[in-house]
Structure 1
């Protein structure tokens, strides 16, 4: 079958309008506007648009027998790299100014990822897109550019091969790949939602949907519906897009089945919209087209602007400034489009038409960025600079994060009790207890190790970072934490089967579940509600109590709005103030309100367990401080204890333990 593709690609202003509908919600979503809870869908709209436009261009060139793979990559380099280079150049000095050494090192790693078009792989391994910490990653948004560029490495070659088989078979091949990618995304999302979000194989179906939007209208020579069907199709597609933008939940990756809504909506708008339809007139309006023209540059600028704004105002960006940052993103987007994108595309086209110079400049740009990233990584974010020398001691000696996991790697137990376990305390003594918990337990572990060693006794620590220790609890989105219901039950079963395990220290982020805040935990396959959590937790308390176990149930310690250690370092860097004095404060009343029904739950459990309320330990009356009375850090971040904080909590826990059996005491000569 002969392929009939027009030799020219007419300008469609409604496509620029769609770009505007994509970019503005993304910016407002990242700025924190709750109205645009599904604003991240703008990236999916971009994927469909990109697939459509690139496929249309390639088909046009193939029909004219003018397609060149090298020229295709020259176009991509001219389109992507100039504005991206400017953004990287501006971001580097801002990062050096505003970032802590570990953040700057991570920034350097992200620059390396940008230079190798592997940002999606880097952020998949390092960052949860929907986590609050992601807001301070200046280059997080480049993951989508990496997905597109990886797609364009393979897709032109596929289209060349499919072209030879005719438009019908080409549509079948592309459609089959889209279905395969969608099925793969649906399967992967069940167990590895972050992988499904970031990686090309599970995102390709969206780009392929755009490619189909360019191919299918060519079948049979009828490029569009009639006026009435076009109006209905465009209206339906636009409604689907708006539904996703305003109704999707912005706390976790959306399953592919739901993501079909904006993807199909975008494809419908592309296929059905023209200047005579209502949606077409709206999208082709001057404001929409103007915003669409600068959409790429605006998208590039918005994440660094917002991220550096949050780093500058690390104690909270003033509400009035948020809109100013959004406006600045759009202004920089316009300036970048006007003085970077346009000259490269138009004025300098004659100079840049040759392939070798363009590819050479592109390679030079990427290699330079790669070397800058390597330098930041190799120097650990310029950690040796004089501005940081006075701060290393107070923080490193007291606030190292992740010490519990490192401890367990150094002292493995070989016990079947859990995913990460180790011996805590005097490793020559018989094990007579268990420390069971999540990252809160990992933070407590160094302090408990000291207390148990002092008492010449040993516990086995069972840690599962990110997994609140409750029987039957699982995570529905962040499943890579390994939070499995059966694994939680095994811990309790093993404790009950071993009489020697007399003392149980049970600690976790229970307040998250009792507060009613958004989370991704399920209990026996259903959303974990505060009432269900209360019932399950008390049932476990009863079970352990009936078995004669001594249960020390530890409630949440105070949480702070800002990372306490980072706050102290930033204050030191900015004002040269004593790092040990930069404390954060919250009120006990606010913490009790934030933890919901946790206080009542602890009271109910106190008759069958020995309760340690973290608020009692770390609050002085109504004031809860991130530092002790001597100005030393008690926290490593917003909620996890430092070594000093762990010692303070561990002393309180140790006073509630039953003593070792008399036979053990006699053996030790006590």
Structure 2
């Protein structure tokens, strides 16, 4: 994204639905004409790739779970920017916001939960039914992270057989953010005197900064004292969303800093990849360690896309990269249930061919569900290319 003069314009850095709804951590249509950010699409692609590699081939990326942190920052950046822009334009409606979130997220997630429920009864041992049912209900109501925390699940070094919906913990954290964020921003905006108040933007920045510092501090302490719970709790993750919110409120970009932006882009990408390779099961997480992927994501978004052979622009714009970003929400939803259920159908030994088959099935189901379910509910009759082929998380 190139901006000709120094500015802080939410209309430049925020993505919108064709129907006017807010975007989110999943993939929207990759078209700059509607304000879509290709670098954010690329971040989504990187994030879901890290997560899937971590689950399918754990030895390749020791900490691919940091892809979830990338998604959290993206959500905070996009959703905060959209809400604040609508507030400043006088067009924000709380009910409309929640309705669009529901239309965006529920159809695909409910489909996956239904398929998991049927598959569990069909092929999973009855000894796992009760735990799976409990977690399916927790996932349906987006409190799966609390369920896992209460069960003392250790995500990094699991000591129990995982259910096919364990990955819904991150979607639960996101949904809780979607519930709380507009309420906090709306309350602060009104307390600041509405659209004409000179200090409304500083008040919003102060709010998001306070959430960032408070949640980060709590996360560091809780990671040290109770790492199992710290991994799943909303209170230890809220700062990752809030960081994105602070960024969208303070971001100013100029063409005079093209060189610095190129360096920032590469540095940010390197930080994300390094965190996935260097961190591991023995790293207390989130805690201080989460600053590495979160900081890298912030750098990439802040730098934007610079048209230069020295920048990552050519890599970012690859059709394959944009397509994976497009499918990232669906890929995240489908890959884990397939991996968990696969051994019950084809045998306990999951070899290379099995993992490749899971990956292929993930891509196929992701594309089919996006076109037939996500886009249909999100855009009505404007599905597929006519709707822009988008999906958010």
TM-score by length of 2: 0.82
- 1:272/1:183 Cα in 2 relative to 1: closer, same or farther (>3 Å)? same
- 1:255/1:75 Cα in 2 relative to 1: closer, same or farther (>3 Å)? closer
In structure 2, the residue matched to 1:442 is none
Q: Secondary structure at the match of 1:6?
A: helix
Q: How does 1:14-25 map to 2 (within 5 A)?
A: 14-25=39-50
In structure 2, the residue matched to 1:158 is 184
Distance between the aligned counterparts of 1:180 and 1:224, measured in 2? 34
The Cα shift of 1:343 comes to 1.6
In structure 1, the residue matched to 2:166 is 140
In structure 1, the residue matched to 2:99 is 74
- 1:254/1:202 Cα in 2 relative to 1: closer, same or farther (>3 Å)? same
The equivalent position to 2:137 in structure 1, one of 112, 120, 130, is 112
Q: Secondary structure at the match of 1:35?
A: coil
Q: Unaligned regions of 5+ residues in structure 2, if any?
A: 1-7, 16-34, 193-198, 384-393
Question: Does the alignment pair 1:183 with 2:188?
Answer: no
Question: Does the alignment pair 1:306 with 2:330?
Answer: no
Count of aligned pairs: 345
Deviation sequence 1:220-242 (CA, Å, 0-9, x none) = xx578721111111111111011
In structure 1, the residue matched to 2:175 is 149
Q: Contact (CA 8 Å) 1:14, 1:289: kept in 2 or not?
A: no
Distance between the aligned counterparts of 1:181 and 1:225, measured in 2? 35
Q: Secondary structure at the match of 2:312?
A: helix
Question: Does the alignment pair 1:40 with 2:40?
Answer: no
Deviation sequence 1:102-148 (CA, Å, 0-9, x none) = 20111110111012211001111222212345663100110001111
- 1:255/1:5 Cα in 2 relative to 1: closer, same or farther (>3 Å)? closer
Q: Secondary structure at the match of 1:136?
A: coil
Question: Does the alignment pair 1:256 with 2:287?
Answer: yes
In structure 2, the residue matched to 1:280 is 313
Distance between the aligned counterparts of 2:119 and 2:271, measured in 1? 39
Question: Does the alignment pair 1:233 with 2:264?
Answer: yes
The Cα shift of 1:337 comes to 1.2
Q: How does 1:375-414 map to 2 (within 5 A)?
A: none
Q: How does 1:78-97 map to 2 (within 5 A)?
A: 78-97=103-122
In structure 2, the residue matched to 1:485 is none
Distance between the aligned counterparts of 2:254 and 2:373, measured in 1? 35
The Cα shift of 1:32 comes to 3.1
In structure 1, the residue matched to 2:25 is none
Q: Contact (CA 8 Å) 1:15, 1:283: kept in 2 or not?
A: no
Q: Contact (CA 8 Å) 1:38, 1:247: kept in 2 or not?
A: yes
In structure 1, the residue matched to 2:237 is 203
- 1:252/1:240 Cα in 2 relative to 1: closer, same or farther (>3 Å)? closer
In structure 1, the residue matched to 2:195 is none
Q: Contact (CA 8 Å) 2:213, 2:239: kept in 1 or not?
A: yes
Deviation sequence 1:633-661 (CA, Å, 0-9, x none) = xxxxxxxxxxxxxxxxxxxxxxxxxxxxx
The Cα shift of 1:25 comes to 1.2
In structure 2, the residue matched to 1:630 is none
Deviation sequence 1:484-524 (CA, Å, 0-9, x none) = xxxxxxxxxxxxxxxxxxxxxxxxxxxxxxxxxxxxxxxxx
CA RMSD of aligned residues (A): 2.2
The equivalent position to 2:300 in structure 1, one of 237, 250, 269, is 269
Q: Secondary structure at the match of 1:66?
A: coil
Distance between the aligned counterparts of 1:46 and 1:311, measured in 2? 31
Distance between the aligned counterparts of 1:224 and 1:89, measured in 2? 49
In structure 2, the residue matched to 1:56 is 81
Q: Contact (CA 8 Å) 2:224, 2:284: kept in 1 or not?
A: no
Q: Unaligned regions of 5+ residues in structure 1, if any?
A: 351-670
Q: Which of these two proteins has the greater Rg computed from alpha carbons?
A: 1
In structure 1, the residue matched to 2:226 is 192
Deviation sequence 1:363-396 (CA, Å, 0-9, x none) = xxxxxxxxxxxxxxxxxxxxxxxxxxxxxxxxxx
The Cα shift of 1:40 comes to 0.6
Q: Secondary structure at the match of 1:36?
A: coil
Q: Secondary structure at the match of 1:137?
A: coil
- 1:134/1:343 Cα in 2 relative to 1: closer, same or farther (>3 Å)? farther
Greater mean alpha carbon deviation, residues 133-142 or residues 149-158 = 133-142
- 1:11/1:153 Cα in 2 relative to 1: closer, same or farther (>3 Å)? same
Q: Contact (CA 8 Å) 1:217, 1:223: kept in 2 or not?
A: no
Q: Identify the structure with the greater helix proportion.
A: 2
In structure 2, the residue matched to 1:213 is 247
Greater mean alpha carbon deviation, residues 304-313 or residues 49-58 = 304-313
Distance between the aligned counterparts of 2:377 and 2:256, measured in 1? 37
Q: Identify the structure with the greater strand proportion.
A: 1
